[in-house]
Amino acid sequence: MNETNQTDIRTWFMDFTEKYRDKNGTMHPVLMLKYDHSMRVATDSRDIARELGWSAGDIAIAETIGLLHDVSRFPQFAEYKTFLDHRSFDHGERGYQIIAKSDILSGLCESEQNQILNSVRYHNKKTIDPGMNSEELRFVNLIRDADKLDILSIVYETIKNNRHKDYPEILSHVDPDGPATPELIAEIRKCGHGSYENVRSMTDMNLMRMTWVYNINYMPALQRLAKRGHLDQLDETMIKNPDVEELLAKARNFVADKLSKENPIKT
């Protein structure tokens, strides 16, 4: 991928999102949030790829994936007024289709096209097929990390600025003031992650996000997570009890241990 390819794709993304502005040129605030999210994830993806020592072409692909990964959020909200995939469509799958149907990747070789398409397609899946081609997997792993980092920032900013009641889309319609659900605590304690069926409160959502630390793929992403204070922010926005404290302490120890080893988890 060269600079011209990248500029053309960026122009296409700008034109695509432009359609979701009203007559006065205003975009709905939650779509504006997605637009800004796409920009930040693109930047983080580029910077993480650079720190990993990837080639200039691969850095450009990583940045492009960051920009495009949530492209289907715009039609999703316009059509369904939700970002909940189970009430609309799988947004990774729809993003893949939108990009595949366009001709924006036509200037790229087949392997680059597949790296972009499959990263968009699988960025939101619960698990990734471990048999995925390793040349694609490294990009999928990167977008999953960069996406998580920015979601952690968005959620914290939304809660801190008391916008969670205005933006139920961002916090998935959960009870903002409810306590941690015991079933979720038990699940996380047992297997390190929880399931959305046991999520009832914002504290539960934040516990789920806390478990993301166990699934960060690249060391520069984990370093950013620590440096940006995401665990402290989650701590600040949860209703605490001894179980929550214990899970938080475990997550903190896990991150501290990984960082102290200073070796890439995956390269």
Residues in contact with Fe ion by CB under 5 A are 70, 124
Sequence-distant contacts of 260-264: CB under 8 A, at least 24 apart: 262/219, 263/219, 264/52, 264/218, 264/219
Least distance between Fe ion and beta carbon 150 (Å): 10
Measured CA to CA, the distance from residue 219 to residue 261 in angstroms comes to 10
DSSP state of 88: S
201 DSSP β-pair partners: 175
Are 68 and 95 a contacting pair, CB within 8 Å? Answer: yes
Cβ atoms within 10 Å of 202's Cβ, excluding its own = 21
Query: Which candidate, 214, 210, 213, 201, places its Cα nearest to that of 235?
Result: 210
The total of other beta-carbon atoms located within 10 Å of residue 209's CB is: 20
* 177 in Cβ contact with 201 (< 8 Å): yes
Taking the C-alpha atoms of residue 241 and residue 223, their distance in angstroms, rounded to an integer, is: 27
Instruction: Please say which residue, 209 or 258, places its beta carbon nearer to Fe ion.
Output: 209
Q: Minimum CB separation from Fe ion for residue 84, in Å?
A: 12
116 closest CA partner among 48, 67, 76: 67
Q: Both tokens of residue 5?
A: 């390819």
CB of 123 to Fe ion, least distance (A): 6
Residue 154 CB, shortest distance to Fe ion, in Å, is 11
Residue closer to Fe ion by CB (options 92, 194) is 92
Nearest to Fe ion of 185, 221 (CB atom): 221
In the bound complex, what is the minimum distance in angstroms from residue 225's beta carbon to Fe ion?
A: 18
Maximum pairwise Cα distance, the chain: 55
Shortest Å, Cβ 249 to Fe ion: 30
Position of minimal CB gap to Fe ion: 70
Query: Considering beta carbons, is residue 152 or 244 the nearer one to Fe ion?
Result: 152
Nearest approach, Cβ of residue 48 and Fe ion (Å) = 17
Looking at the Cβ atoms of 70 and 187, the one nearer to Fe ion is 70
Tell which residue, 266, 227, 1, has the closest CA to residue 140: 266
Given the complex with Fe ion, which of 124 and 211 has the nearer CB atom? Answer: 124
Q: Do residues 252 and 234 make contact, with C-beta atoms less than 8 angstroms apart?
A: no
- Residue 215 CB, nearest approach to Fe ion (Å): 15
Give the nearer residue to Fe ion in terms of CB position, either 208 or 247.
Answer: 208
Q: Name the residue nearer to Fe ion (CB basis): 89 or 254.
A: 89
